[in-house]
Amino acid sequence: MKTFWIYLKSKTFRIKWGIAMDYRVIKENDVFFLTDEKGNIPKSHPYGLGLYTKDTRFLSEFSLRINGEEPVLLSSDAAENYMATILLTNPPIEKEGQTVLWRESVQIERKRFIYNGVLYETIKLNNYFPKPIAFEMSVSFDVDFADMFIVRGFQTGKVGNRTGQTIDGNTLTFHYIGADNIHRATVITWDRPAVSVDDRGEVVFSFSLRHGEEQAVTFMIQPQIGGQTAQKIMIDKDDALRRLKASYHEWHQKITKVTTDYKPLQRLIDRGIADLRVLLTDLGYGPFPVAGLPWFGVPFGRDSLIAALQMLPFYPQVAKGTLITMAQYQGKKLDPWRDEQPGKIMHELRFGELANTNQIPFTPYYGTIDATPLFLVLLTEYVKWTGDYHMVRQLKSHIEAALQWIDKYGDRDGDGFVEYHQESSKGIANQGWKDSGDSIVHRNGEYAKPPIALVEVQGYVYQAKIGLADIFEKLGEPDRASLLRRQAAELKEKFDEAFWMEEVQFYAIALDGKKQQVGTITSNPGHVLFAGMLDTQRQNAVIQMLLSPNMFSGYGIRTMAEGEAGYNPMSYHNGSVWPHDNSIILLGLSKLGKSKEALTIMEGLIEAASHFEYDRLPELFCGYSRSFGKPIPYPVACSPQAWAAGTPLVFIQAMLGLFPNGLRKEIHLSPTLLDSMNVLKVENMAIGNGRLSLTVSREGKEIKVDIHENTTGYDVIV
């Protein structure tokens, strides 16, 4: 098995090829559990399996054995995200040359979930052998309390020390004092008498089962931070599971419900909604989506903002929680170590030992060029959906700070464009969404040198200023609105002059440090369609290029065109297909009334999803042409991943052609349907002061719209 180096969100990770996607993960709030398909965490596993919270691994070994032998896998499922069910059986077990347990005599079921910061796992054993049997089951635990960055091989540093284990009846506790002087502990409790418990972490149970008899043991594993006193876990397993399921039921009651007769789309929508629910976290300011599992279950500027944007038609409260959370961590000072400037929206926030001791700059880290304008874009779109001007007033100082950052620190040389340049010694070089080190490359194969002005970021700035101008005018600030519109118009004019490449009829991905075009054909200009920044002729040229064979693989729009010097269909950003990238392009196409092109992209992505586990769109997949065969997975793509999960939600908005305008109290509809479907029913969509429910159906060659409910206070314009 070979070792490979893989890019993931600007960081390089070492993995063992062939095991990269062989895992099961469940999550609830800020705790997640990552194991192999058998449900184990083998000691020193190269993929960093474990129980994590606050960027710390609270379980680094969790191995189950029957009479010293590892069970055989029958099935493994974590489709519900909050619960995993794993079915195992015993191998043939011998002692001194004699068979003591025939193979496949014992069914072993492992069921696990997380609730209120506690991992619950029940192991049930059922005897299918025709006679009584007796055996021992051992479970081995260990905890290294490793920082996430150390686990991933991204960082080494000064860390604390394990301070031993304590055993108290049916409780085993591992202790650690970090370099940040914080006491961390893992408390493991079980509900069945054990034969033995040792301070190395092995717990042994004895089972005697009649034919058909079932017995079980439940473990409750609780990470503790900050010197909490180890205590009995008050909520029992059944009550905890009931409460967890109730929270999911409540979630489904709140959100938009979608029903269609096209089953592949229905499965994709249901999967996206389920994945987004499990990725929601709350730091005290309302729910927001973390970027993705397993390695980015944290606040993540652009990812959280874009996922919240995708979720607007389904649950606008997520946008509200995301905006308030991002505002709370908005930059306040000049700090090169963290690439921080006043008004800047964060990139990534970490909570582990290395962050607490300032050995890494992610406290938070601000090395992102797009999060600040995206913060403003999300705000303006949120207001269009909800008419919530109270949020604008609540965030007024944050809005002003973000605008000042764009004009002062974002445009570092005063040329009218927002550009980035890494300042932190442990920061990120490329600070757009394509943040791997090789993603901004000239057509001759040379990497662009900073400062770099990205094409899509100028679109975000334009969209933010136009949207805010409308809001400020509504709030009685016409002079402020006029200034923003004037700035946006000037940006549009400069943008066309600087980024348009007449010879290829397309926009450059960026301007480099010498203000030279980085002319590689990429997907980035597609984001500008949603901004409404392009004139008709050039927007049509952009659309034509995006749907050309060099860009459209048949499964989705590639990040880079086939034939470019930097093109590599197996790469992270230079030829792969990213669903969220396509979703922003889809929003632009739908906004422009380009339904045929939008449907083509949707059909490709729906087909791609059907080839992945759980009908789930991953973070990205390889960019090989559809004629090559099934979509090829990227080895270590996050799955589930927030803005990939949000992509099918955008399908619904794009098919409806639905764009509310809270300023005018209007809902614009321009519906269409995929050829493979005849009905799309949307219920309980939150807009304005109420709800909208409607059905789009095909009658012959006509598309019909029936409005069942409209309590929004907005007029529907079809």
The CA-based angle 587-574-340, given to 5 degrees, is 75
Convert the pLDDT of each residue in 118-139 to its tens digit. Answer: 999 999 999 999 899 999 999 9
Q: Which region, left, alpha or beta, applies to residue 612 given φ > 0 means left and ψ of -120 to 50 means alpha?
A: beta
d(CA 638, CA 292): 6
With 90 as the cut, is the pLDDT of residue 482 above it? Answer: yes
With 70 as the cut, is the pLDDT of residue 408 above it? Answer: yes
Convert the pLDDT of each residue in 610-630 to its tens digit. Answer: 999 999 999 999 999 999 999
With 80 as the cut, is the pLDDT of residue 179 above it? Answer: yes
Q: How many CA atoms lie within 13 A of 397 on its CB side?
A: 7
Convert the pLDDT of each residue in 483-518 to its tens digit. Answer: 999 999 999 999 999 999 999 999 999 999 999 999
Q: Average pLDDT of the chain?
A: 94
d(CA 99, CA 92): 7
Q: At 542, is the secondary structure helix, strand, or coil?
A: helix
- Helix (H), strand (E) at residue 93: strand 93-95
Among the listed residues 594, 614, 590, the one whose alpha carbon sits nearest the alpha carbon of residue 310: 590
71 DSSP 8-state letter: P
What pLDDT shows up at residue 157? 84
Q: Which region, left, alpha or beta, applies to residue 142 given φ > 0 means left and ψ of -120 to 50 means alpha?
A: beta
What pLDDT shows up at residue 228? 60
Percentage of the chain exceeding pLDDT 90: 89
Confidence of residue 605 (pLDDT cuts 50, 70, 90): very high
Convert the pLDDT of each residue in 263-283 to its tens digit. Answer: 999 999 999 999 999 999 999
User: Could you tell me if 58 and 184 are in contact, meaning their C-beta atoms sit under 8 angstroms apart?
Assistant: yes
Q: Where are the beta strands (DSSP E) in 148-307?
A: 161-168, 171-177, 183-190, 196-197, 202-209, 214-225, 257-260, 280-282, 287-289
User: Could you tell me if 442 and 510 are in contact, meaning their C-beta atoms sit under 8 angstroms apart?
Assistant: no
Strand 715-717 versus strand 666-668 pairing type: parallel
Q: At 102, is the secondary structure helix, strand, or coil?
A: coil
With 60 as the cut, is the pLDDT of residue 58 above it? Answer: yes
d(CA 488, CA 503): 26
Kindly tell me the burial class for residue 496, based on how many C-beta atoms sit within 10 Å of its own C-beta (0-12, 13-18, 19 or more): middle
Architecture of domain 255-702: Alpha/alpha barrel (1.50)
* CA 510 to chain CA mean position, Å: 26
Confidence of residue 18 (pLDDT cuts 50, 70, 90): very low
User: Could you tell me if 26 and 32 are in contact, meaning their C-beta atoms sit under 8 angstroms apart?
Assistant: yes
With 90 as the cut, is the pLDDT of residue 471 above it? Answer: yes
User: Could you tell me if 557 and 620 are in contact, meaning their C-beta atoms sit under 8 angstroms apart?
Assistant: no
Q: Which region, left, alpha or beta, applies to residue 516 given φ > 0 means left and ψ of -120 to 50 means alpha?
A: beta
The CATH code of the domain at 22-245 is: 2.70.98.40
Convert the pLDDT of each residue in 278-305 to its tens digit. Answer: 999 999 999 999 999 988 999 999 999 9
Convert the pLDDT of each residue in 665-713 to its tens digit. Answer: 999 999 999 999 999 999 999 999 999 999 999 999 899 999 999 999 9
Confidence of residue 36 (pLDDT cuts 50, 70, 90): very high
What pLDDT shows up at residue 11? 47
What pLDDT shows up at residue 9? 55
Among the listed residues 499, 396, 371, 520, the one whose alpha carbon sits nearest the alpha carbon of residue 448: 520
Domain ranges of the chain: 22-245, 255-702
Convert the pLDDT of each residue in 351-402 to its tens digit. Answer: 999 999 999 999 999 999 999 999 999 999 999 999 999 999 999 999 999 9
What pLDDT shows up at residue 19? 41
Q: Which of 4-13, 89-98, 140-149, 592-601 has the lowest mean pLDDT?
A: 4-13
What pLDDT shows up at residue 5? 42
- Helix (H), strand (E) at residue 241: helix 237-254
Among the listed residues 444, 336, 343, 446, the one whose alpha carbon sits nearest the alpha carbon of residue 395: 343
Strand 31-35 versus strand 280-282 pairing type: unpaired
Percentage of the chain exceeding pLDDT 70: 96
* CA 429 to chain CA mean position, Å: 22
Residue 16 phi, psi dihedral angles, 5° rounding: -95, 120
Confidence of residue 154 (pLDDT cuts 50, 70, 90): confident
Over range 193-219, report the average pLDDT. 96
Q: Which of 21-35, 195-209, 218-232, 334-348 has the lowest mean pLDDT?
A: 218-232
Confidence of residue 205 (pLDDT cuts 50, 70, 90): very high
With 60 as the cut, is the pLDDT of residue 583 above it? Answer: yes
What pLDDT shows up at residue 94? 76
Q: Which of 414-418, 477-481, 638-642 has the lowest mean pLDDT?
A: 638-642
d(CA 162, CA 226): 15
What pLDDT shows up at residue 107? 96
What pLDDT shows up at residue 234? 66
